[in-house]
Amino acid sequence: MKIGNLEITEKAALAPLAGVADRAFRELCRSYGAAYTVGEMASAKGISLGDKKSAELLYITETERPSGAQIFGNSPETMAIAAEKALEFSPDFIDINMGCPAPKVASSGGGALLMKNPELAASIVKEVVKASTVPVTVKMRSGWDDNNINAVELAKMCEQAGAAAITVHGRTKVQMYAPPVNKSIIKAVKEAVSIPVIGNGDVVDGKSAAKMLEETDCDMVMVGRGALGRPWVFAEINAYLDHEVVLPEPPVSQKMLVMLKHIEKICQYKGEYVGLREARKHAAWYTKGLHGAANYRARIGLISSMEELQSIAAELIEQNS
């Protein structure tokens, strides 16, 4: 599959998960075969005003490529400026967020709120495409609510404005993440445009990825929550799609090794103080479903050193062996 002139060889990409898909997690998912990664969404307004925290979200390393920078906002001019600044970090593509349901993002006029104003959304795509030297993609939802399902209309407008690919999360903004994903809307978008369409929502393993591809005819899938504490999900998906092989769940010892490697990377990139605090949510995801994990959650929520985390990991391995 090609996104503009960018060749993509695998079938499952990592979603731009805010607060999760940082450099450490993107690198880890790529090592397990993620087709590409997308950075955490960055505020176009913040980037244009020189905000350091917004700019840091655009940083990309060679080991996570192909990788895109995701920006959000509601001003075509500001989004174009943000795209130009994002290019300084050499992304393989720039992704425009039209799907984030978070009140903070939507209330600022960006994210999923753009689906309520297709003309503005299309003009944003047009200006970003003009400003960018790399392909521009769009991530959207099926619509705002059940009475406003307009992904097909918006996808066509984005394509006409120059978008090189579209990711569709098959739920409305109002639905957030609760009901089963609506695959029919993803299929309808695929039938309506000639650019690649990536299906997003409820993809958690090889079989669900195959089902998404089969039922929507989409070109690829995107994995978000299905990768939390399970970066190896991309290896599982690739094995199933390529060879119809269902890989066994990694043993607990392997899961804990991956967890520790992940947290060490976060600490390496962000410093131990920040890294260990961010590690708490990741550790909770890695230990989900393990025997005795519930008893360790309180301890995980208070970890302040790698030694404490290593001790918890060792105890969980022993308890689950």
pLDDT tens-digit series, residues 37-85: 999 999 999 999 999 888 889 999 999 999 999 999 999 999 999 999 9
pTM of the model: 0.96
Q: Phi and psi for 273 in degrees, rounded to 5? A: -60, -50
The verdict on 265 and 184 lying in the same domain is no
The verdict on 235 and 289 lying in the same domain is no
Show the domain range for 313.
252-319
The verdict on 116 and 194 lying in the same domain is yes
Pick the catalytic residue from 29, 100, 218, 267. 100
The verdict on 227 and 304 lying in the same domain is no
Q: What whole-number distance in Å separates Cα of residue 1 and Cα of residue 142?
A: 23
What are the tokens at 129? 């495409």
Q: Check residue 103 and give its pLDDT.
A: 85
Cβ(23)–Cβ(64) below 8 Å:
yes
The verdict on 143 and 231 lying in the same domain is yes
What are the tokens at 265? 């990377």
Q: Which residue is associated with the tokens 């925290």?
A: 53
The verdict on 86 and 168 lying in the same domain is yes
Q: Phi and psi for 266 in degrees, rounded to 5? A: -60, -45
Q: Which of 118, 99, 212, 198 is nearest to 158 (CA)?
A: 118
The greatest distance separating any two alpha carbons of the chain, rounded to the nearest whole angstrom, comes to 58
The verdict on 305 and 202 lying in the same domain is no
Give the β-pairing of 2-3 and 6-7.
antiparallel
Residue after which a domain boundary falls, among 243, 277, 304? 243
Q: Which of 94, 17, 84, 98 is nearest to 60 (CA)?
A: 94
Q: CA geometry: angle at 232 spanning 138 and 105, to 5°?
A: 30
The verdict on 118 and 259 lying in the same domain is no
The verdict on 58 and 175 lying in the same domain is yes
Give the model confidence (pLDDT) of 147-189 as tens digits: 999 999 999 999 999 999 999 999 999 999 888 999 999 999 9
pLDDT tens string, the chain, 321 residues long: the values are 999 999 999 999 999 999 999 999 999 999 999 999 999 999 999 999 999 888 889 999 999 999 999 999 999 999 999 999 999 999 999 999 999 998 888 878 899 999 999 999 999 999 999 999 999 999 999 999 999 999 999 999 999 999 999 999 999 999 998 889 999 999 999 999 999 999 999 999 999 999 999 999 999 999 999 999 999 999 999 999 999 999 999 999 999 999 999 999 999 999 999 999 999 999 999 999 999 888 888 899 999 999 999 999 999 999 998
Residue after which a domain boundary falls, among 243, 264, 296? 243
The verdict on 56 and 163 lying in the same domain is yes
What are the tokens at 101? 């349901």
The verdict on 266 and 154 lying in the same domain is no
| CATH number of 48's domain | 3.20.20.70
Q: Would you call 100 a catalytic residue per the annotation? A: yes
What are the tokens at 267? 């600490």
On the 0-12 / 13-18 / 19+ scale of CB atoms within 10 A, 284 is middle
The verdict on 224 and 307 lying in the same domain is no
Based on the structure, what is the number of domains in the chain? 2
Residue after which a domain boundary falls, among 190, 216, 243? 243
